[in-house]
Structure 1
């Protein structure tokens, strides 16, 4: 196992952990949820740039974009509580 595969496994663990967190918590912290998803997508992207799998690389791009959207939405909600 090379370092890039190990990095990919850590990214996978982040994404699975975030999903488990979302499922377990009644009111998940969006910064924890989306931040962990973004970290996982970034780590998996590093792995996929070395061990190329184009469909998975595209998936991680969307995963990261959704996580960034969630973080921006959470930051706006924190600034302007309703």
Structure 2
């Protein structure tokens, strides 16, 4: 049995660290779920995993990463709307 570790495996592992790390940071109150950083880190993690999956495909994993990316995009849009509304209020 051989163990091959390609660059896309490394990218996928970075994605895992992003998603698990941001969730951990949320649970220990280092991040707020309304912060831009939380959505961005999750989105980057999902993209990294999708890159890895494009080389070693697994349909179930790709589906969950698509949802993860979409949910992160919703979080980003909600942050952007709040940020824009605050800017309008201060002008």
TM-score range, shorter chain: over 0.9
Larger radius of gyration: 2
Uncovered stretches (5+) of structure 1, i.e. residues with no partner: none
Q: Quick one: distance in 2 between partners of 1:26 and 1:45? A: 26
Alignment-derived partner of residue 23 in structure 2? 19
Distance 1:2 1:30, change over 3 A: same
**Number of residue equivalences:** 82
Q: Quick one: distance in 2 between partners of 1:79 and 1:69? A: 15
Alignment-derived partner of residue 30 in structure 1? 35
Runs of 4+ that moved beyond 2 A: none
Alignment-derived partner of residue 44 in structure 1? 49
CA deviation vs aligned residue, 1:6-52 (integer Å, no higher than 9, x gap): 11000000000110111111761521100000000000000000000
Between the two structures, name the one with larger relative contact order (CA 8 Å, sep ≥ 6). Answer: 1
Q: Quick one: distance in 2 between partners of 1:2 and 1:14? A: 19
TM-score, normalised via structure 1 length = 0.93
CA drift of 1:66 comes to 0.2
